[in-house]
Structure 1
């Protein structure tokens, strides 16, 4: 049987990780992996997470399964953090998932179950796992323009023109904040226009919210998602705790479905069913920590304070890189880096220039020149800027 298997294409980011590990040069710089790093290059365990883990060790009495949907307290805490009070909970169904990727997979499975002929629209570009999972599931897919390669901002005219072709019943996947891979985000007026258009077209929004708190703050980063949630009869939201709680390896996510209050039972039942088919019960350790933090005022305050430190550090790195690139290139072509938000920006370098950065300077980034801002520090910002000036 295994003789009939075909080799699968390698994930480009995972391939980049391996290349970086095998590079023996001192001073190499990893800007490819999408994890937050502090000034020492470490992805730290947040203070509130450590405190919650210590408390959990003291009070936990069982390791038995959680429910199919996860623990109700976790779901309620995450729904509150994401949605605020914009949607009555009578309309909200949710399930805990293995990370944000698990939530995306379950959402797509639900769409396929409910509307197998629906087309899922993705921004161009988007996170590579989005189209990969959709193709694997055999679903219909289309793209809408998003990033302007010249301005390094939003191609809003192209975006609206393409979304104007969306059909009733189609699904439009939107990045709630901190767009991956570009870092370019819609402003409030643009979000209003997109919401009006999609509502007129009868489309269903599907929000990927992986970086809440990494852009402009917890509530500001949830603003677009909340606008969408209160503006449509049906919405799907896939969210992750990997970044904002720093619990990447705990695989902690949630899928939220918003529908009619009268149909909540059926929606919740289908979400539970899909969990059962794919992994039975969701992991609980990370979810338990998140719940403990969000239910304890002191832990919540400490977590928010550290998350703000993380956010401001990335903004400082953005401004420093933009300033240094302006100095060494004597141009404003990279000023956009300071205006983008989240972990990522796409620099606009060619693939050949990216290869030169890797081969000549031991600087690793994805082939489309997406960099992880959090992979930089005060020492490496000028090194990166000087290397970019050399190859571009």
Structure 2
């Protein structure tokens, strides 16, 4: 039955993690894994999550199914976090939100919704983008096309080229995927002025924006990171938003995310939401409970919510502080390349500007594990390894 099947290569980033785990070098550094780590290289459970879980352990009375859309009380939690409490859009009825198994689950449901209901729509994604975007939409039969984004010559944004490509080639009804903040994998974000240009373009061309908000709070702040998303939502008729609670609540394995759909009217939003429910039913029937229950418990407690915001700020400040330290220590090491751009990037990831040859030399000779693209996870840097890392980069780069 299966004799004709050939094995396929796995995710290269996952292979990188395994290679690091098996490396006996005591100085080895993992800058590939895409999870937050503290200075001890540990992915901690937030204090607020522990407190919420204790409450749930005491109060939870059932493990029955939640229903297709998850807990009804979770819908306003998703929306308040994305738009801010009291935002006018939230009382309009134009936005409906469902709990999903992580941001990946939200994107998969969005892909199936687009494939089944927006016939001929193509998905435009940044070059580069998160490695799983293409796989998710390919699996739903949606054509995926790249638009220019990262400029290796300047380690910056190719916004003019991006707009020129879109202007020349998008069709009415196409879907434009944009990272809300902390662009994965480059760390290079659209600024508010870029969002304003994109918003007008989306309106003029009749496009459907799909915003991937996986790292809210890890850039400049919970509200600051979504300023562009909120501007666009306030000025377009339709939008899809996939968001994740994995990072800013540190609940990666609990698989908690959300998919929001915004339509021109409340009736249209409800109709679209019912169809989203069909896609959910066909995919995983209904989402898991625990992660959403934890988030709901935190967000509905004024004390826990305030403490959680502080914990997010601490993670954000650590990452941004590491960026500044990395730039300073690389400069002090005498390296010939200017790495100042790393400090301007945001989020956990950085396109380091290292070449494939340099990355592989760092891996083979210094046990420093960075993706072949040069993408490194800033959260993997620590006070204990930063000197060795910068010295090694200086030796390899020259």
TM-score by length of 2: 0.96
CA distance in 1, matches of 2:138, 2:78: 29
* Counterpart residue number, 2:62: 62
Per-residue deviation, 1:135: 2.1
CA displacement 1:17-44 (0-9 Å, x = unmatched): 1111111111210000000000111100
Per-residue deviation, 1:153: 1.0
Q: Secondary structure at the match of 2:183?
A: coil
Alignment of 1:209-224 (within 5 A): 209-224=213-228
CA distance in 2, matches of 1:118, 1:342: 30
CA distance in 2, matches of 1:351, 1:155: 21
Per-residue deviation, 1:4: 3.3
CA distance in 2, matches of 1:330, 1:347: 13
- Match for residue 296 of structure 1 among 278, 298, 301: 301
Query: Retained in 1: the 8 A contact 2:75–2:96?
Result: no
CA distance in 2, matches of 1:106, 1:5: 28
* Counterpart residue number, 1:140: 143
* Counterpart residue number, 1:92: 95
Per-residue deviation, 1:331: 5.0
Alignment of 1:1-392 (within 5 A): 1-84=1-84, 85-89=87-91, 90-164=93-167, 165-259=169-263, 260-329=265-334, 333-392=338-397
Query: Retained in 1: the 8 A contact 2:66–2:286?
Result: yes
Change (3 A) 1:6 1:139: farther
* Runs of 4+ in structure 1 over 6 Å off: none
Q: Secondary structure at the match of 1:341?
A: coil
Deviates more, 1:311-320 or 1:19-28: 19-28
CA distance in 2, matches of 1:357, 1:136: 35
Deviates more, 1:238-247 or 1:328-337: 328-337
Q: Secondary structure at the match of 2:125?
A: strand
Unaligned runs of 5+ in 1: none
CA displacement 1:135-193 (0-9 Å, x = unmatched): 22222121110011111111111111112132110000000000000001111111111
Unaligned runs of 5+ in 2: none
CA distance in 2, matches of 1:8, 1:258: 38
CA distance in 2, matches of 1:111, 1:368: 30
Residues matched between the structures, number: 392
CA distance in 2, matches of 1:148, 1:130: 20
Q: Secondary structure at the match of 1:2?
A: coil
Per-residue deviation, 1:88: 3.5
Query: Retained in 2: the 8 A contact 1:238–1:256?
Result: yes
Change (3 A) 1:69 1:283: same
CA distance in 2, matches of 1:229, 1:179: 19
CA displacement 1:270-325 (0-9 Å, x = unmatched): 11111111111101100000001000000001100011001000011000001111
TM-score by length of 1: 0.98
CA distance in 2, matches of 1:219, 1:127: 23
Per-residue deviation, 1:96: 1.0
Q: Secondary structure at the match of 2:89?
A: coil
